[in-house]
Amino acid sequence: VSGGDGFADDGFTVAVAGLGLIGGSLARDLSAHGVRVLGYDADRAALDAALGDGVIAAALGDDWSGLEAADALVLAVPVRAAEAMLRDALPRLGRARLVTDAGSTKARIVAQAARLGIGGRFVGAHPLAGCTRSGWAASRAGLFDGATVYLTPSDESSPEAVGLARSMWTAVGGTVVQMAAEEHDRLLAWTSHLPQLLSSAFGAALAGEGVARDLLGPGGQSVARLAASSPDVWRDILADNAANVVDALAGLERQLADVRAAVESGDAEAIRAWLEMGREWGAREA
């Protein structure tokens, strides 16, 4: 990394709280870029592994001791935990010019930062790099390569904090897309939370029918993949984004009711027309 935006400076120090899939992968990439990384994880084994692998230079204490040395703090924990962590870390934030997170919903954590009086330094972030595996063992270099990373600065966020957040996520390979936290949460209800619910509903329905996953063909497996995601992580996301999630679910249920009516009445052309809506949309390859 080179340039004069702070993030590239010698000795720039980033504290990463939560060394799971996202935090662990970020710590690996930042450390490989010459950034000094401090780490914290409630799971001592993960912390020791990150120290042992040389990914983090030092561990923060349970009381956030050591955080004073950080130029930036990244909270890479589930969304509810991030709110509590932000409050607890506050007294030790010291010189940090950027406080950010990696959670899947943004409105609540942005509001929490404002409440705590650190809205100027806070820039919410959400890298689209989740997968069904989690923990330090699932983390890897290059996870964010080519991934969309949403940044949701508020009106309060300082240009310096926004610049640092952009530099950090760009340095690890992410493509930064900026939008308001509320807009993010509405969009993600459709693009991320809804497919998680469809995959989980598919799993729950087949479990109820006694149909095992290995009876699926390649197409069914692709729809089933997300069902294996962590219920703890997703409970928080869905609860946090309840109103938007309910809208998206209701929209999807209307589609299913439409096609069920067409199938029930044996109206082949109505079935075809309904399928065509999804095909037109889906044919635009990502």
Residues in region 202-231 near a second copy by CB under 8 A: 202-209, 211-231
**N-term to C-term CA, the chain:** 29
Q: Which stretch binds a second copy (CB under 8 A): 7-15, 134-142, 156-164, 233-241?
A: 233-241
Contacts of 135 (CB under 8 A, 6+ apart): 20, 21, 24, 43, 46
User: Exposed/middle/buried for 283, CB within 10 Å: 0-12, 13-18, 19+?
Assistant: exposed
Sign (positive/negative) of CA torsion 156, 158, 159, 162? Answer: negative
The CB-of-187 to a second copy minimum distance in angstroms stands at 7
Does 235 bind a second copy (CB under 8 A)? Our answer is: yes
- Site residues for a second copy, 102-141, by CB under 8 A, read 128-132
The CB-of-76 to a second copy minimum distance in angstroms stands at 16
Nearest to 54 by CA among 21, 27, 17: 27
- Per the listing, tokens 């079935």 go with 271
The CB-of-99 to a second copy minimum distance in angstroms stands at 24
The CB-of-35 to a second copy minimum distance in angstroms stands at 25
Q: Which is nearer to a second copy, 9 or 145 (CB)?
A: 145
The CB-of-21 to a second copy minimum distance in angstroms stands at 12
Does 22 bind a second copy (CB under 8 A)? Our answer is: no
Does 281 bind a second copy (CB under 8 A)? Our answer is: yes
Task: Give residue 97's identity as a one-letter amino acid code.
Answer: R
Token reading at 37 = 């990384």
Identified binder of a second copy from the candidate list 100, 154, 167, 199, rule CB under 8 A: 199
Identified binder of a second copy from the candidate list 148, 170, 175, 178, rule CB under 8 A: 148
Give dist(CA 119, CA 132) in Å, integer.
Answer: 32
The CB-of-186 to a second copy minimum distance in angstroms stands at 9
Token reading at 150 = 């949403």
Q: Which stretch binds a second copy (CB under 8 A): 10-18, 35-43, 151-159, 253-261?
A: 253-261
Could you list the beta-strand ranges (E) of 63-221: 72-75, 98-101, 122-127, 148-153, 175-178
Q: Which is nearer to a second copy, 65 or 255 (CB)?
A: 255
Q: Which is nearer to a second copy, 97 or 184 (CB)?
A: 184
Q: Which stretch binds a second copy (CB under 8 A): 2-10, 25-33, 63-71, 249-257?
A: 249-257
Does 142 bind a second copy (CB under 8 A)? Our answer is: no
Percentage helix, strand, coil, to 5, in the chain?
55, 15, 35
Q: What angle do CA 224, 227, 229 make, to 5 degrees?
A: 135
Phi, psi (degrees; rounded to nearest 5) at 56: -110, 145
Does 197 bind a second copy (CB under 8 A)? Our answer is: yes
- Site residues for a second copy, 177-196, by CB under 8 A, read 187, 190-192, 194-196
Does 274 bind a second copy (CB under 8 A)? Our answer is: yes
